[in-house]
Chain A
Amino acid sequence: MLLNQPDLLSAEELQDHIRGCALNNRESQKKMYSSFYGYAMSICHRYANHEQDATEILNDGFLKVFMEIYRFKPAYTDTISSFKGWLRKIMIYTAIDHFRKNNKHKLVGELNETYMHVPAAHEDALDKISYEEIIAAIRFLTPGYKTVFNLFVIEGFSHDEIARELGISTGTSKSNLAKARKQLQKILFHHNEITHKNVV
């Protein structure tokens, strides 16, 4: 359940507040911040280890938004979706910058060989896990795995794009993704106390 969620903006209100933000109007900036707080924080939360880190990424991202908002032009008629996409991209790149600044050498984490392998027959067990648990599980990944996993699985980046953004090779990107998935499985099933284990 979402608590303390401000009213969503209409397209016309969004355009007015975008103009206000372009003129450095504080009221418009606060309105934009509060309206897209939940959406932006859900992105930042997946990349951060702690709540404070997530807030820092969020605020840095919004600062970039307000500084560059005068350049924003809706790519299509749906202004809200267009703006959300533009906001999402800024938040992701801010998270990447944050990762590169704080977790430079953590792309290749230690691999726990005793991973759990879950056969296809038990995939439906994932249905019992809530969205919140899934997202929370991602946060338990090591920083390197988490970043590559988020960029590839959730944001839809290709390995080439990931390699370019993080300054790594494509192979390293793929390797970290595989490791991330395995670690995530372990976290999810261990967290939900799944007793059926098939070790290959």
Chain B
Amino acid sequence: MWSEEIDKKLREASENPAHSYDEKSWDKMEQLLDKHLPRKRKRGGIIFLLCFLLISGTAAFYIVQQQGSAKTTKIDKTVASQPIDLSTSTEPGNAQTPGITVPAATAPGKQDAASRHQEPVLEETGRSTAAKKKRTTDPFARRHDQPVTTDRKDREQKAEAQHNTMPAGKNNNQDILADPFAASVNGSVAGHLPVSPSPVRKDTAAAVAKNDSFDQQLATKENKKPGQAPPLRGNKVSVNFSFGPDISGLGMNYTGRLKLQAGVGLSYAFSKRLTVRTGFFVSRKIYSADSAEYHPPPNFWSYYPNLKKVEANCLVYEIPVSLVYNFAAGKKGNWFASGGVSSYLMKKEDYGFSYKDSWGAPQYHHLSFDNKNHHFFSVLNLSAGYQYNFTDRLSLMAEPYAKIPLTGVGFGKVKLNSGGVLFTVGFKPFLKRK
């Protein structure tokens, strides 16, 4: 017959665990947990990475574009400084003096008209060749020696005066001939050289017009006041090193401790007025909160139904993105105002909970989280300050700031305000003088 003793033995047998832990069972368990109790995925990292790449790509695009425009300017100057070769004439009669246009001998009436028609061309040719001669000898001589005139009429008058002062028997070709034997030749040439008719080439006139426009461009670009410094290149990118005191709190009643924050950053100046800044900052947020301001997961309240106070000590990585508006520059610096958003990466969170248990006895419990909470673009940054430029490369900024939360941060999703003063040393590593 079955007895109670057998039942007792069976119960004792069941209390004796005879099964060793199996890691494969945990693998199956983990799959169940991932399905029914999934952990929050850190999708925000991808979004942040995309935003950072977008900003970096935009900055790189502008830098490349600026370098491209600088190269184009250089090419323009190089082209303008090169002598214009008019020796493209293949008309018969010009073989003796290639590239030289000689007024054609025509009927008197026609000659007058032709002369009238040709004379300005000749004058232009003479003017252009004179200018050409000057340019080939000293491209920058005019800048220093002569006041540059962009007035076409003045230049015409000068060329005409030059033409009229030439000795009789000689034509304008004398200036063109750089041949050392030209003097002996010209005398005979002037007397005996047949003047063969040669039509004015339209492309020569166009080349002259073009040359004239190049003259104007060159004059414009090189027409600077004496003593003016050459423009700077690479003036838009700045590397920043920042530090300063920071204090956080949930309001006037729960202001935390003053701590130091530090970081590095990059800034890019789109224009004189606008600059975009980003960076990476490390700070420690120490604050207190009561149960009304604390918003943890619902399960939390089962363990701490009578929460009295929370003391938090959090290591925060901050990534701000801001737009800076620069007011009118003074002698050595300028005032500015800035606005933007920051992302908080809660690297380490330490919380101390003061509460009463179900029997009313005061209790204290400590809880820590590592890399659990990330809040992207969740804090509004506002600041204003003054930038002092020691040199073209080096500057110092002082800016009081305020950080206002747009969403709750940390395990308790608290509305954490921060304030302080940031001192930033700016350095332009790519600065060059053209």
* Min distance, Cβ A153 to any Cβ of chain B, angstroms: 5
- Please tell me if B202 contacts chain A, counting CB pairs below 8 Å: no
Question: From residue A16, how far is it (CB to closest CB) to chain B in Å?
Answer: 9
* Chain A residues with CB under 8 A of B36: 63, 67
Interface: B181 (CB within 8 A): no
Beyond A2-B20, A131-B12, A185-B2, 12 additional contacts (C-beta under 8 Å) are: A5-B20, A22-B300, A22-B302, A26-B30, A55-B25, A63-B32, A123-B5, A126-B5, A131-B18, A134-B13, A135-B14, A154-B14
- A49 in the interface, Cβ–Cβ < 8 Å? no
Set of chain B residues within 8 Å of A123, measured between Cβ atoms: 3, 5-6
Q: Report whether B10 and A22 are in contact in the complex, using a CB–CB cutoff of 8 Å.
A: no
Question: A110 interface residue, CB < 8 Å from B?
Answer: no
Bound Cα distance A63, B12 (Å): 27
Q: CA A153 – CA B367 in complex, angstroms?
A: 43
Which one of B10, B11, B16, B303 has the highest number of Cβ atoms from chain A below 10 Å of its Cβ?
A: B10
A70 touches B302 (CB 8 A): yes
Contact check: which of A37, A66, A67 meets B19 at CB < 8 Å? A37
For window 229-248 of chain B, which residues contact chain A by CB distance below 8 Å? none
Contact of B26 among A23, A30, A120 (CB under 8 A): A30
Contact flag A37-B22 (CB < 8 Å), given A22-B299, A43-B14, A63-B33: yes
Give every chain B residue within 8 A of A118 (Cβ-Cβ): 1
**CB of A6 closer than 8 Å to a CB of B:** yes
- Give the residue of B10, B15, B21, B367 whose beta carbon is less than 8 angstroms from that of A19: B367
Q: What separation, in Å, do the CA atoms of A118 and B1 have in the docked complex?
A: 6
The reply to whether the CB of B297 lies closer than 8 angstroms to some CB of chain A is yes
Across-interface contacts of B16 in A (CB, < 8 A) = 42, 131
- Check A24–B29 contact: CB distance below 8 A: no
Query: Is A159 interfacial (CB 8 A cutoff)?
Result: no
Q: Is the CB–CB distance between A33 and B26 below 8 Å?
A: yes
By a CB distance below 8 angstroms, the chain B residues around A66 are: 33, 37
- In the complex, residue of chain B having the shortest beta-carbon distance to the beta carbon of A30: B26
* Size bin of chain B's contact surface: 35 or more
Interface residues of A in 52-102 (CB under 8 A from B): 55, 58-60, 62-63, 66-67, 70-71, 73
Q: Is the interface of A mostly helix, strand, loop or mixed?
A: helix
For the complex, is A146 an interface residue (Cβ under 8 Å from B)? no
Residue of A nearest to B411 (CB): A23
Which of A67, A73, A120, A153 is close to B10, meaning CB atoms less than 8 Å apart? A153
State whether B14 touches A42 (Cβ < 8 A). yes
Q: A23-B299, A120-B1, A134-B10 are in contact. Are A39 and B37 (CB under 8 A)?
A: no
Task: Judge whether A173 is part of the interface by a CB distance below 8 angstroms.
Answer: no
Residues of B within 8 A of A134 (CB): 9-10, 13
Residues of chain A with a CB closer than 8 A to B3's CB: 120, 123
Cβ–Cβ < 8 Å partners of A58 in chain B: 25
Q: Which residues of A contact B299 (CB under 8 A)?
A: 22-23, 70
| B residues 266-316 in Cβ contact with A at 8 Å | 297, 299-300, 302-303
Residue on A with the closest CB to B358? A73
6 nearest CB pairs, A to B: A38-B17, A131-B13, A70-B299, A41-B19, A4-B20, A3-B20
Least CB distance from B427 to A in Å reads: 44
**For the complex, is B7 an interface residue (Cβ under 8 Å from A)?**
yes
Q: How far is the CB of B116 from chain A (nearest CB, A)?
A: 99
20 examples of A-B residue contacts, CB within 8 angstroms:
A4-B21, A5-B20, A19-B367, A23-B299, A37-B22, A41-B17, A42-B14, A42-B15, A45-B19, A59-B25, A60-B32, A70-B302, A117-B1, A118-B1, A119-B1, A120-B1, A123-B5, A131-B16, A131-B18, A153-B10
